[in-house]
Structure 1
Amino acid sequence: MTNRWRNRIGMLLVSTPFLMLSATGCLAAKPTAAEPGDEIQIEPEAMTALNEMGNYLRTLKSFTVSSEMSMDEVLLSGQKILLTGTTEYSTRLPDRLRVSSKVEGLDRDNEYYYDGKSFTIYSNLDKYYATFEAPDTIGKLLDIAEDRYDVEIPLRDLFYWGTEKDRGEDVQAAYFIDTSRINGTPCKHYAFRQEDVDWQIWIEDDDTPLPLRLVITSKLEIGAPQYISTMTWNVAPQLTDSTFVFTPPEGAHKIEFAVIDDPEEESTQQ
């Protein structure tokens, strides 16, 4: 599995309604696979549910999300190794964010802080941290972090659903699968297909249409590695300013972010 794919799925990937939204095709009751010659369907109900979820997420002023995830690591031999981890999100719109992300087996235990003025990543494993001056909204932060510093924040696509970056036009097939329960909560299960990924999502069947589970399958990686996240939400948390402020612990070492594709640096080199 490439580092690029690891980074993507380590963040709850999906660039359409969710980064590159994908999900594995556990489409048992419906004609899923879309074999050559099969008719490709986009069911209006599935797209409507996705839009309603995105619109609801955009109404939230603050929330916390706890994600239990598992992901495939594909060895050179082709064997799949299952890795597990957690991501904890604390958010206050428009300019406060804190994320803790751990993946067992990948030596990843990072914390991300955004206090409205600066953004910091801290590694609990080696005690290094780096900071850069941040813009005034989470949306702008996500763009700068990726485009300038090659940093993809876990679960970032929670902020893309329901916006102009919600690339619903990339969906090639969309189906309603069935009703079910996630941790006792009634939800509706949908499956979607895109050119490079398949994905499934379970949306709470209530007036609070939250995403409760996401399954993503890469169609481009050898072995079709899969990512699964099950989410628990609190849409009325008590969050203070101190929640989002990074204070270097004793023994922590500051380093600098490496800037990628710096126009000034590129011009100088030329």
Structure 2
Amino acid sequence: MRHKIIVSLLFSALFCLMAQTALAAPDQEATPAPFKFSIQSESATSPEAIVDSMTKFMKALPQFYATGQVSYDKVFQDNNKILYSFDFDYYVKRPGSFQLNLDGDEQNKQILFNGKTLTVYDADKAMYAVIESPSTLTIDEVLDKAKEYRLTLAILDVGRSNFGDNLLKNVVKSAYVGLSNVGDIFCHHVAFAKNDISYQLWIEEGDKPFLRKFTVTLKTNPAMPTWTAEITDWNLAPVLPEGWTEFVPKAGMQKIEFLKPSTQPVSAAK
């Protein structure tokens, strides 16, 4: 009889413990860990210092070629998301020349800039449009001008001399996540949060802090769509043939006009 009572008490205690654990679990899951800066070796792992190091390194590059892949969410009704992707090749020569080639699910485009003329060619539609400038512009300046026409593409910003500086504007929280492997390359993984977006960067460890991967999440959209780019190769001495930033229309291509900034619909902003 005593044996049965002891067994019964043990069973009751075990049941109570399991019940407490089960009841506690939802509360634990509903309280995510705080997003804050890791204080391990603060001088070496400050997210801002790592981005600043990358910015200075990339700004000093007179020219480069970067290639990789971008994946991005497209949001549909009821916050359903479909993942799309495209490959890219990006040639940059400072202060004012670039060529970007996109080949993917939806994006089959070429974007060229020769210092005065920005050309966007859509291969799927055989259409192109240009933005002309009476004066010579830098890459930073033409990308700012393109924004006035609602023409934005995050991978283009890698060519900016102030790329990293822009990332750090209006940051409310930051975190050093740790060392991570991206394509067999050890990288510092850092994260930043702003009021409307959050983003993460993977920056190569060592004296050549190349950007290897970055991701942006839009927090103002309930579906939280994410855009991710992984740069698989950098070349600091690319072959740039004569006329590499000039667009020559072929027969059958149609020239269209960008909407002027004053006529752009508000809903077109991204």
Provide the TM-score with structure 1 as the length reference: 0.75
Which runs of 5 or more residues in structure 2 are unaligned?
1-31, 264-270
1:119-198 alignment to 2 at 5 Å?
119-134=118-133, 135-147=136-148, 149-160=149-160, 162=162, 166=166, 168-198=168-198
1:225-236 alignment to 2 at 5 Å?
225-231=225-231, 232-236=233-237
CA RMSD of aligned residues (A): 2.2
Quick one: structure 1 residues 33 and 189, their matched pair in 2 at CA, closer, same or farther if it must change by over 3 Å?
same
User: 1:167, CA displacement in angstroms?
Assistant: 5.0
User: 1:161, CA displacement in angstroms?
Assistant: 5.8
**Identical counterparts, % of pairs:** 24
Q: Which residue number corresponds to residue 89 of structure 1?
A: 90
User: 1:144, CA displacement in angstroms?
Assistant: 1.4
Partners of 2:55 and 2:165 within 8 A in 1: no
- Structure whose CA Rg is larger: 2
User: 1:101, CA displacement in angstroms?
Assistant: 2.2
The 10-residue stretch of structure 1 (166-175 or 84-93) with the greater mean CA deviation from structure 2? 166-175
State the secondary structure of the residue aligned to 1:166.
helix
User: 1:132, CA displacement in angstroms?
Assistant: 2.8
Quick one: structure 1 residues 32 and 64, their matched pair in 2 at CA, closer, same or farther if it must change by over 3 Å?
farther
Partners of 1:51 and 1:162 within 8 A in 2: no
Q: Which residue number corresponds to residue 219 of structure 1?
A: 219
Question: d(CA) in 1 for partners of 2:37 and 2:186?
Answer: 25
Question: d(CA) in 2 for partners of 1:190 and 1:167?
Answer: 12
Partners of 1:185 and 1:204 within 8 A in 2: yes
1:98-152 deviation per Cα after TM superposition (whole angstroms, max 9, x unaligned):
1112441xx33111111223111111011111223233321111111221x2222
State the secondary structure of the residue aligned to 2:142.
helix
- Partner letter of residue 157 of structure 1? D
Indicate whether 1:240 and 2:241 are aligned. yes
State the secondary structure of the residue aligned to 1:241.
coil
- Partner letter of residue 172 of structure 1? V
- Partner letter of residue 214 of structure 1? F
State the structure with bigger RCO (CA 8 A, min sep 6), 1 or 2. Answer: 1
Indicate whether 1:47 and 2:33 are aligned. no
- Partner letter of residue 99 of structure 1? L
1:88-107 alignment to 2 at 5 Å?
88-104=89-105, 107=106
Question: d(CA) in 2 for partners of 1:150 and 1:194?
Answer: 21
Which runs of 5 or more residues in structure 1 are unaligned?
1-30, 35-39, 263-270
Question: d(CA) in 2 for partners of 1:52 and 1:132?
Answer: 33
1:55-103 deviation per Cα after TM superposition (whole angstroms, max 9, x unaligned):
1110011111113111112221332221111222111111111111244
> More helix by proportion, 1 or 2?
2
User: 1:165, CA displacement in angstroms?
Assistant: 5.5
Question: d(CA) in 2 for partners of 1:224 and 1:255?
Answer: 33
Aligned length: 224
Provide the TM-score with structure 2 as the length reference: 0.75
Quick one: structure 1 residues 218 and 203, their matched pair in 2 at CA, closer, same or farther if it must change by over 3 Å?
same
State the secondary structure of the residue aligned to 2:244.
helix
- Partner letter of residue 93 of structure 1? R
Question: d(CA) in 2 for partners of 1:163 and 1:238?
Answer: 24
Quick one: structure 1 residues 48 and 155, their matched pair in 2 at CA, closer, same or farther if it must change by over 3 Å?
same
1:60-79 alignment to 2 at 5 Å?
60-79=61-80
Partners of 1:93 and 1:138 within 8 A in 2: yes
1:26-37 alignment to 2 at 5 Å?
33-34=34-35
Quick one: structure 1 residues 51 and 186, their matched pair in 2 at CA, closer, same or farther if it must change by over 3 Å?
same
